[in-house]
Structure 1
């Protein structure tokens, strides 16, 4: 075990004057805010990449993950950080030594190395033995991205501690951006159930893997707490504010390894110690942990879309070199060689020193530094790391390509592919969907999630990092004796290729689509929808709750003293539904998802919330108008042009929930007049409340909807007619549209 500390002398030096070295009693008594950063996830979800490099050093939008975590801790007022390193500890320690973190004022970084820890419990026990934690501290993993302020959560924690010494931990949580139906498509994580006392914010129950939709609650919870909220719409940020008792609890319980499955659940079930865990929910800030490839994709997109500001590509923070923000969320480094005929689309990052050949197209992707991209290359939704070579005519979709990879001409990477370091893919080769390719052989023995990531720790791996070139050349250069089958495997990625394609075991096949950067298949979305629509059964440990006292999904209150349905406080389902639809539409824009897939997801949301088609049309129209509003619009006419662009592109999607017109004969096949009026009413609401910029162009947008055959003449006239008896304040937009309505009436009379 080796501890490496920053080189600064925080005491100010030994040669100062008496005045310089005098320290007040208050300063001596003050304990600096400390943090423990776990630089090892103690999991294998990022294999085969993490066989060669620790997860916290993997590039996230061209910046090592750990730099995001350290930048946030430093900005949040943390003064001392202890970075625990285990797998590839030397690489982490060297990164910290060579970074600028040691030079930051009032910010100390200490790396603690160990080769013996097999879980977070071992890490915290070792830190406890070091006796370096002197007060409350922040516990976080090095794969966390956040911009939240710690002041409020710390204040709540200290106030609880002052009143109750058993309040030893505060968990940071946030509202999930998606419903249970679509949550897996965003983060790739299991559905999380938490029971929380709404008055004290105490955590009473935590389960991230419910058995067939059943949640079992101890009856004492219902008798000890006046009310309980059962949530499945919250996200665990894996940011904890802890008291020193957390470390001593790990020291006393050697069976505690996992922070949630062992420690947290152990405390919730322990009636002897009486320790309590509380929650702090953040509202407007960002916090997320990268647990698998899907959440890697999600958090990357959130960074590019600036949810994590100021930790974004165009803002300089320690450990990154800022890029220039261009139109449509495209970031470009200062030195990029791009052919005039090459096209770089929105929400894309291009690193320094990268060259892009003629007729190549890149969209919704991150490209690292020093990459060479040939001509007629198509890259969509990919993460291309540093010094990658992609020859002419290649097609890449939703893949991760690590440093030093060479992709020969004409190669196709199907969705979900992961190419680990220095892999070579032969000409014209098609890498199957969800394939993982590495220079290391796949381990013969499938190890558990808690095992460490050592490339040289098992005979199941073959270190082929020195192999390059053609297969026959491998035999000459390699110092390792390879069998014929191994040589064949090393070239199973095409002629001239180098790498092993890892097979997918039957048990882990289900995880491939859940944890991949590729869009979730439509068939799987249907499965999730049907599963999510099943009733959630909540039982006491000694039997079922009475029917009138059943806890329902999505933040429902159960009152243990009076199980009257009138006392159940249910969220506004439509508001949540509208937010879900907006998130779905935004993702469709970013990832260029087809209309049919969006319809599938919106329909699943509608069924999940038990709403009507009119709700879908209103929510989709709202999402489209918000999208147009987010684009640059120096003048009202530009805003109308933005709206026209969005409506024209997504007309099919909106019309799916509105009347159908046979364009050949001009006849209305099915009438959905109330649904169309719902769209107009929704637009009125936006103009008055959430998007007031539209209030001056209401008539132009209404005319646009009419011209595009989205809103029919009959719906507009009925909307105006319904407003005749309304208050004057409710006739604002009808009056604006008087001339247009008059023109419609006259046209209708002429037709009659």
Structure 2
């Protein structure tokens, strides 16, 4: 993404004839999605690309010439206060004339925080309402100018919502709260708003009162907009919250309530941006996706080498590798691409790091594999560890030969003993965390014994407390000499629902998100991707020598394509959507259909093996379920007769890689039958593949497939005889 040419320096003062611009920053999300980490530290202070989230929000406000900033603190307010007191934002050179933390400890929702703002009389002019976890390079001063111009023309205008366009295949469409906006096409005035259910295979419908559209010339119905929770508000907004105590959330309560009210008669407008980056880190999935976008410079000029913290010294190298001063890399370690490494960090011999962020003062041992993971400050990772799609929090020790599987979160100061396997989607904490029930919260509230708290309105740390225990650790989770306990979520709010199914944490979704070329908040088409790809026009049978860079391209494509198919299967996407995603990815990276078939087959056989190993389905049921439902993907990947043979060779190799040879042989035979029945492969090509495979010697592994092929030949012979 090219740099913004009109970006203003953060120290520029507002024009004297313009009223001072104020900002309200909501530091608490009033959710528990980042538990158990947020039981120790507020979400806005969690690091993203080694920078606390709140820094991105404050930098965004500074660029827009905001004069006064009020940080509304609920959870861990003391930590936020201490951080701000020691930050550059309170120095004499700060672009803010005033920055103040407001302890709103009783607030359990956005509505409560806004009522507190009104009670304190903090707002005197138009203000920016923003969440403390927003990452954006939006030029807010232009939005503010448009908002003020609209207010002159429309005295009833009170809010301008900033929305970002998203393509139909946008990878966050299934991971954020989907909504339907009806906008006046001429003025962008919002006529109607409604949350809509996530895509689950069934079509959603929105019922609209025809009176809403009276006196409106042209209107547009939009469900392709991502709401990153940046709003320009008039001083009337806090007062409306004060008058309506049932307003809790900003969109489903306030916006919908104002638009449907016959008494208020206020207008809300939308500012739809296409070229700016804007995303909110509201879940583990978006944390991962935004981190990758920052590393890949989709949010330029927000990038690690911008050095948002005064003591940072990042430099940008090729393949989006960022290193601070004092980093020590062993000669034989391999830093592949999209990696940030903090100062005083050591990485040992033979270690491979890909698409990951490693904090400061970390020690990474020898022969370690770190892929698409986040290692925070002060962490120690021992020799021979494998960490994939996981988060290792600050000051955590992972001892030698530990495997941390996808979706796992290792909390602050946990110690995982050597040779431990941390399964998928496991969350570990140093001290047990207990969910407070409503009755427990009530008993702790000495000032109001009759208070009742709804679980969904409890902030990220207030709903949990340390659980008293005489045990020092749970050996079944962290090993005999480890330190830590298993954290188990028991609230729906901590679960991220996507497409009708509930998934805890970052398992699977994280794997699916972080390997996509499509930015989380970008609609750049594949042909515009800023990638140095070498064109390959030779067919799969041509003699061709590829460079190391091209090998890396194919390896990268394989990972991303596999993730695309896995995401489609897990979220039950339709076939056409999956095919379009694969084809877009293929064209953007300029690879052959052989690589597409390879990735698709790999993802499908892995899915079959997963069902079998977890005892969800038997061998036959799992194979038929996956290949009957998703085998038609190959119809758009197999065009020539030699492509059919190539597909069968790929399938054979994938089945040979099964942990159980007998299982792999059964899967091969059953999937062959499905491909034949679906007319994806023909008899002659099956025989051609089988004769070549036999010549190489399949042994016992090929016996089941061989019997099936012989049956096919006999059946064909009988059919020919009958015809004669």
Tell me, yes or no, whether TM beats 0.5.
yes
Tell me how far 1:393 sits from its aligned partner: 1.1
Q: 1:520 aligns with which of 500, 509, 519?
A: 509
- Distance in structure 2 (CA, Å) of the matches to 1:277 and 1:608: 35
Given the superposition, is the C-alpha separation of residues 245 and 396 from structure 1 closer, same or farther in structure 2, using an over 3 Å criterion? same
Q: Say which of 61, 72, 87 aligns to 1:73.
A: 61
- TM-score, reference length from structure 2: 0.68
Determine the structure 2 residue equivalent to 1:364.
355
Deviations 1:610-637 (A, max 9, x none): 6998x88974554125xxxxxxxxxxxx
> Which of 219-228 and 433-442 deviates more?
219-228
- The runs of 5 or more residues in structure 1 that have no matched partner are 1-9, 11-25, 463-479, 525-574, 626-642, 670-752
CA distance in structure 2 between the partners assigned to 1:577 and 1:102 by the alignment: 38
Find 2:284's aligned residue among 282, 293, 312.
293
Change (3 A) 1:665 1:370: closer
CA contact (8 A) 1:661 1:667 kept: no
Counterpart contact for 1:342–1:359, Cα < 8 Å: yes
Q: Tell me how far apart the structure 2 counterparts of residues 52 and 611 of structure 1 sit (CA, whole Å).
A: 40
Q: Is the 8 A contact 1:436 1:502 kept in 2?
A: yes
2:415 aligned with 1:415, yes or no?
A: no
Gaps of at least 5 residues in structure 2 are 1-10, 438-453, 514-521, 534-552, 601-633, 650-724
Bigger Cα displacement from structure 2, 598-607 vs 110-119: 598-607
SS at match of 2:258: helix
| Count of matched residue pairs | 550
- 1:119-159 per-residue CA deviation (whole Å, 9 max, x = no partner) reads 22222222223323221111101101111112332222112
Deviations along 1:378-428, one digit per CA (max 9) or x if unpaired, are 110001100001111111110011111111111111100011110111221
Structure 1 CA distance, aligned partners of 2:314 and 2:70? 30
Conserved? CA contact 1:179–1:580, under 8 Å = no
| Shift in Å, 1:489 | 3.6
Name the CA distance, whole Å, in 1 between partners of 2:39 and 2:118: 29
C-alpha spacing 1:609/1:49, structure 2 compared with 1 (3 Å): same
The answer to whether 1:203 aligns with 2:187 is no
Map Cα deviations across residues 189-229 of structure 1 (whole Å, 9 max, x no partner): 23322222211211122233439623221221233423332
Q: CA deviation at 1:579?
A: 5.2
- With over 3 angstroms needed to count, the CA separation of the structure-2 counterparts of 1:146 and 1:325, relative to structure 1, is same
| Match in the other structure for 1:157 | 147
* Counterpart check, 1:41 vs 2:29: yes
Alignment deviations for residues 338-384 of structure 1 (CA, whole Å, 9 cap, x no partner): 11111111001111111111111110100000001111111100011
**Which piece of structure 1 moves more, 80-89 or 310-319?**
310-319
Q: Distance in 2 between matches of 1:454 and 1:521?
A: 24
Aligned to 1:192: 179
Inter-CA distance 583–648: structure 2 relative to 1 (3 Å threshold): farther
C-alpha distance 610-177 of structure 1, shift in aligned 2 (>3 A): closer
Aligned-pair CA distance for 1:257 = 2.1
Contact 2:76–2:461 under 8 Å retained in 1: yes
Asked if 1 retains the 8 angstrom alpha-carbon contact of 2:342 and 2:361, the reply is: yes
- CA–CA distance in structure 2, aligned partners of residues 666 and 53 of structure 1: 52
- The Cα shift of 1:177 comes to 4.7
Match of 1:500 in 2: 485
Partner of 1:440: helix, strand, or coil?
A: coil
- Say if 2:402 and 2:417, in contact at 8 Å, map to a contact too: yes
Match of 2:455 in 1: 448
Instruction: Tell me, yes or no, if structure 1 residue 428 matches structure 2 residue 393.
Output: no
Instruction: Report the CA distance shift for 1:666/1:417 in structure 2 as closer, same or farther (over 3 A).
Output: closer
Tell me which residue corresponds to 1:660. Answer: 640
The match for 2:265 is 274
CA RMSD of aligned residues (A): 4.0
Deviation at 1:179, TM superposition (A): 2.3
CA contact (8 A) 2:169 2:577 kept: no
**CA–CA separation in structure 2 for the residues paired with 1:237 and 1:651:** 37
Give CA deviations for 1:151-190 in whole Å, capped at 9, x if unaligned: 332222112211222110000001125527x4356xx223
For the Cα contact (< 8 Å) 2:288–2:510, is it kept in 1? no
Q: CA deviation at 1:659?
A: 2.9
Inter-CA distance 588–48: structure 2 relative to 1 (3 Å threshold) = farther
Deviates more, 1:425-434 or 1:55-64: 425-434
2: CA distance, partners of 1:600 / 1:577? 23
Decide which moves more: 218-227 or 43-52: 218-227
Q: 1:183 to 1:106 in 2, by over 3 A?
A: closer
Give the TM-score taking structure 1 as reference length: 0.66
Of the structure 1 ranges 264-273 and 657-666, higher mean CA displacement relative to structure 2 is found in 657-666
Query: How much has 1:501 moved relative to structure 2?
Result: 0.8
**Separation of aligned partners in 2, 1:591 and 1:421:** 34
1:593 aligns with 2:559: yes
Q: Is residue 21–residue 126 contact of structure 2 (8 Å, CA) maintained in 1? A: yes
Q: Aligned with 1:662: secondary structure?
A: helix
Q: Once the two structures are superposed, what CA deviation does each residue of 1:542-589 show, in whole Å capped at 9, x if it has no partner?
A: xxxxxxxxxxxxxxxxxxxxxxxxxxxxxxxxx989659979999997
